[in-house]
Amino acid sequence: MAPTMRDVQLTAAGDGAFEEVRLLDAYDEEDSDKLNGNLRRIQVRVSGMTCAACSNSVEQALMGVDGVFRASVALLQNKADVVFDPNLVKDEEIKIAIEDAGFKAEVLEEPSASCTSQHGTVLGQFTIGGMTCAACVNSVEGILRKLPGVRKTVVALATSLGEVEYDPSIISKDDIVNAVEDAGFEASFVQSSEQDKIVLGVVGVSAEMDTQLLEGILSKLHGVKQFYFDRISRELEVVFDPEVLGSRSLVDGIEGGSGGKFKLLVKNPYTRIASGDLEESSSMFRLFTASLSLSVPLFLMRVVCPHIPLLYALLLWQCGPFLVGDWLKWALVTIVQFVIGKRFYVAAGRALRNGSTNMDVLVAVGTTACYVYSVYALLYGAISGFWSPTYFETSAMLITFVLLGKYLETLAKGKTSDAIKKLVELTPATATLLVKDKGGRIIGQREIDASLIQPGDILKVLPGAKVPVDGVVVWGSSHANESIVTGESVPVLKEVNSVVIGGTINLHGSLHIQATKVGSNTVLSQIISLVETAQMSKAPIQKFADYIASIFVPTVVTLSLFTFLGWYVAGLLGGYPEEWLPENGNYFVFALMFAISVVVIACPCALGLATPTAVMVATGVGASNGVLIKGGDALERAQKIKYVIFDKTGTLTQGKATVTTVKVFTEMNRGELLTLVASAEASSEHPLAKAILEYSRHFHFFDEPCDTKESQSNSEQAKFSGWLHDVSNFSALPGKGVQCFIEGKWILVGNRKLITENGITIPSNAESFVVEMEESARTGILVARDNTIVGAIGIADPLKREAAVVVEGLLKMGVKPVMVTGDNWRTARAVAKEVGIHDVRAEVLPAGKAEVIRSFQKGGNVVAMVGDGINDSPALAAADIGMAIGAGTDIAIEAAEYVLMRSNLEDVITAIDLSRRTFSRIRWNYVFAMAYNVIAIPVAAGVFFPLTKLKLPPWVAGACMAMSSVSVVCSSLLLKRYKKPRLTAILEITVE
């Protein structure tokens, strides 16, 4: 069975909103089942990982802990996920295992009294700074999982965000922050899942008296449980009773109690995250510029000064045992090596403590070898008088180029998370709240922080403004641009009772909306959460890359050693002429430079970044095109799809059934028949039942069908005014129809199967009517009263206009479409013929759809299921790839890996095409990464030197190593140029 996402609920943009979805919800069903037993799951943010070898080191360290059932580490996301037996190992021991592996770890968590999970835990989000690659992610996750009380942890490198589920009675958020900082990373709390807690920035506190005034106000506010004010960050954290005090009332109470002295600002977690990303990039830039400013003088002394007699003479001036130039070089490089380059030693130390090697180890070894040898050459020259060449410049330039590469990586990786940042920017910071009196009349308006909006608030949205939250229009008429959600740029009409989505743009008229979903419950927030979840997932192909990287680094270190021994021993044995040696050099130095170049150039960072960066960009691109993807594993499977199985009703058809024909076979008139059938169907939720009710009401009352509240109210009044009969013993029979008693008579409304199973003979005229309906792709409904067929109803569900073209497009792409339906064979064949599907499975009960899918999966075929209804959920879960129509039910969307937000079948082609493009890019990324090492390592080792005299100095090798990772990330960024395939191109249609 394909993995599913728990707690994920989506509804159509037009009639609902996303329910809560969390980053930690994407885990295997097998683990979930075991977690319900004796196992626990925690997630840890790991800092200090720089390559795939680091992540493997963390995984090995975790799996080496007795009691750990499973450990998974995601490099780019800076996270580790551990499943363990709490009777054998504690959270703290898991954390210690990561730290012993040479990395820093933090368990993300936040206590809560009111919004806890069934296990008494809460979710906390933390920003983590200092992570540079996927190895850092793995380290942080490992550390977090070791913390006591931490259940789950997930860390994302691109967003510098970690999410931790923890038990607040065991561990606090401060403990988590301290654990990450102790591991050498920066950490700060962002937000938690608590509904009874808020973090506010306070403006106006400048003295101790102000602090006392603030604390006095909070102490007097009824409903405040506890609070903490950080005098340094000016942040106020308040825990309150939501049944007594709302967040907006809390803010108003504090500001009012201070007489306007204090101004409170709700902290936007995503803004803080973005500032953290900028700070990390700025920090790396400062290190690079500092290293460059000290390396440039070294370069000038080596290259330029010999051509300027005065300066060169000054450098050659004897000062003690050394020349002035030697003193300057030594001083400058020492600062670069041990002050600016300290971060490499810290990270390398963490890795070596775990018995692993990563990029930092390679850089530290290479630069230290250059530095130590240069110092040794100076001291040896001062003692013996034989002056060998020094390589201080090499050490400094090597660190400079590595820092440049890391800075460029932070910029490039920052761009991969642009999708989330852009979505966040769509949410307005403030909103206009309409103030009402006790009688409900609007008496004024005021600006409030959008984070303080509460369900039921009436908000004013001006033309050109963004809708602050999900809600319903209560006054006004306008059009809205909902392209951020649906990917469709055509404006959507909004009038009274229309649903609006937070973040969409009101184009023309003013609107008054009533807030229905706020905070994390809005559609936009749930899209952000889904994209975050997908970007933090690890595709199966990445695990193979992680394995390669885990053995790659030790292999390279060994190769470097053999390179040194080979050149050095060959020189001693006269294997090559002394003319090859540098001036005043020797065989040892000559061999050492080749060995250092091999160590530096062979960093496997590019391998670790090849998959996650592409997945991150692809999920962002998909979201902007109305296709939500729930993980990298889904992307990988989707590009191999062989069969696409379509549900009929609501998927291939519009799902808006309408009555087209009514036939009466007795003395009963049409109105009596419709009243009888409507009474029987009134208790049913089936789409066909709703179509019959709508048609019957219109027949009797001549009102136009409408979805507004007024029409619904009229319908209810009409229903209870006596036109519908009383019904008893009602029961709905899936796949057949309904049965009940009306005025003592037994009523059956349904298909042939229902009628014949109850022993009722279908007369020829009724049979002919049903056959005619079925052959014209409509559904025939028979009505029986006391064992007699009294009438029949024909119902049509029009096909979606793009259905036939999409089916043809799939065939062109090499994907075979199949239709499965619970409808009868005649109707199914008629619909299939109209859309061009040749493989049809009809009269399939809901539970049987999963069996149909399994039959297609035989032989290893990858099967996708496209559906929208509750009855499609088992099939969506059973398929390798479930694609839920965005207008479908929450349960169907929960079971799927892809959500087609526009409810347009063309997005099935987009989903498959994007998956194929993404993995094509991933394969190219691996080609770039592997080819780089395959070509560069032999050159660095001097394999071609005897023939071409070509060699890579260590500082050039450092530049190449840095650029390799940047090239892979930039390659992934090319996916941002993805354009949805045009059906005309797929079908090879020439449009005049």
Active-site residue numbers?
Answer: 647
Integer Cα distance of 933 and 61 in angstroms: 27
Element (H, E) at 311: helix 309-315
Other beta carbons within 10 angstroms of residue 577's beta carbon come to 8
Residues 6+ apart with CB under 8 A from 202: 214, 229, 234, 235, 236, 262, 263, 264, 265
Specify the 3-state DSSP secondary structure of 47.
strand
- Chain-centroid distance, C-alpha 182: 28
Distance CA 921, CA 621 (A): 14
CA-nearest of 170, 278, 260, 175 to 217 is 260
For residue 38, what are its two tokens? 């004796």
Residues 6+ apart with CB under 8 A from 703: 697, 711, 714
Alpha carbon distance 193, 22 (integer Å):
10
Query: How would you label 879-906 residue by residue, b for 16+ Cβ within 10 Å and e otherwise?
Result: bbbbbbbbbbbbbbbbbbbbbbbbbbbb
CB-CB neighbours of 269 under 10 Å:
19
Segments of 254-390 assigned E as strands: 263-266, 318-319, 322-323
Q: Which of 894, 842, 850, 847 is nearest to 868 (CA)?
A: 894
Question: Do residues 854 and 878 make contact, with C-beta atoms less than 8 angstroms apart?
Answer: yes
Looking up tokens 């400062």 gives 286
Residue type, 631: G
User: CA-CA distance, 185 to 62, in Å (whole number)?
Assistant: 20
- Token pair belonging to 139: 């380290």
Q: Is 48 helix (H, G, I), strand (E, B) or coil?
A: coil
Alpha-carbon span 74 to 84, nearest angstrom: 18
Cα–Cα distances in Å, from 842 out to 648, 770, 905?
10, 16, 21
The rounded radius of gyration (Å) of the Cα atoms in the chain is 34
| CA dihedral sign of residues 391, 392, 396, 397 | negative
Gap between the Cα atoms of 753 and 904, Å rounded: 33
> Which has the closest alpha carbon to 885: 697, 654, 572?
654
Q: How far apart are the C-alpha atoms of 853 and 866, rounded to whole Å?
A: 11
- For residue 669, CA distances in Å to 666, 686, 784 come to 8, 25, 15
Between helix 605-624 and helix 418-425 the angle, nearest 10°, is: 30
Rounded CA gap, 529 and 945, in Å? 53
Distance of CA 918 to the CA centre of its chain: 15
- Strand segments, DSSP code E, in 17-94 are 40-47, 68-74, 79-84
* Partners of 819 in the β-ladder: 646, 840
